[in-house]
């Protein structure tokens, strides 16, 4: 009868043997049976404790892994395609004005942007060494090595004025 009251007092525990073993291991219940019975209770309690520790560790490791993935996603350097999209966004307003003045004759054509390296600055921007392959009016196609400072704003990479 007292075992039934224990199960009712702890509604999360539906297995009477597990509850008894857990209470025994916690020192809240003394074994009055044979040594084999006490050993069985102790072994069950130890297994329950080990399992609960593994579950807690697993939950914490999962949370740590998830947090790490989120933080890595937020702090990654821009890729070559990110830099190229940001550079094209900078060139497009110039091309729009050129179209109004002279049509397609003075358009800057961006052929490719290749990232060489990017370093995070103290102000949370990225200083990137890039090579830009473009076709310029009156000059033709050429590759230029340059340095761009980028920051992420509203989910997109933007080129900003140099911090120097």
Q: ∠ CA(111), CA(79), CA(153), 5° rounding?
A: 100
55 pLDDT band (50/70/90 cuts)?
confident
Contact 118, 77 (CB under 8 A): yes
Identify which has the larger pLDDT, 41 or 104: 104
Question: What is the reported pLDDT for 113?
Answer: 96
The three-state secondary structure class of 106 is coil
DSSP symbol at 123: T
User: Alpha helices, DSSP H only, in the chain?
Assistant: 2-9, 16-25, 35-74, 80-102
- For residue range 133-146, what is the model confidence (pLDDT) as tens digits? 999 999 999 999 99
Range name among 22-26, 102-106, 114-118 with the lowest pLDDT average: 22-26
Q: What is the mean pLDDT of residues 123-127?
A: 92
Q: Percentage of the chain surpassing pLDDT 70?
A: 55
Neighbour-count burial of 110, counting CB atoms closer than 10 A to its CB (0-12 exposed, 13-18 middle, 19+ buried): middle
Question: What is the reported pLDDT for 72?
Answer: 43
Question: What is the reported pLDDT for 57?
Answer: 76
């Amino acid at each position: 009868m007292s075992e039934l009251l224990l199960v009712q007092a702890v509604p999360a525990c539906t297995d009477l043997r597990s509850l008894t073993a857990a209470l025994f291991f916690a020192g809240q219940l003394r074994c009055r049976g044979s040594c084999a019975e006490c050993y069985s209770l102790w072994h069950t309690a130890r297994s329950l404790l080990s399992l609960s520790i593994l579950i807690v560790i697993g939950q914490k490791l999962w949370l740590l892994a998830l947090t790490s993935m989120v933080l890595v996603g937020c702090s990654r350097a821009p890729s070559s395609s990110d830099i190229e999209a940001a550079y094209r966004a900078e060139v497009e307003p110039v091309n729009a004005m050129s179209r109004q003045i002279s049509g397609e004759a003075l358009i800057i054509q961006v052929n490719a942007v290749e990232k060489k390296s990017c370093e995070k600055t103290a102000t949370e921007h990225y200083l990137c060494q890039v090579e830009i392959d473009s076709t310029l009016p009156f000059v033709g196609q050429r590759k230029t090595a340059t340095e761009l400072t980028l920051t992420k704003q509203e989910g997109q990479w933007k080129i900003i004025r140099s911090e120097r």
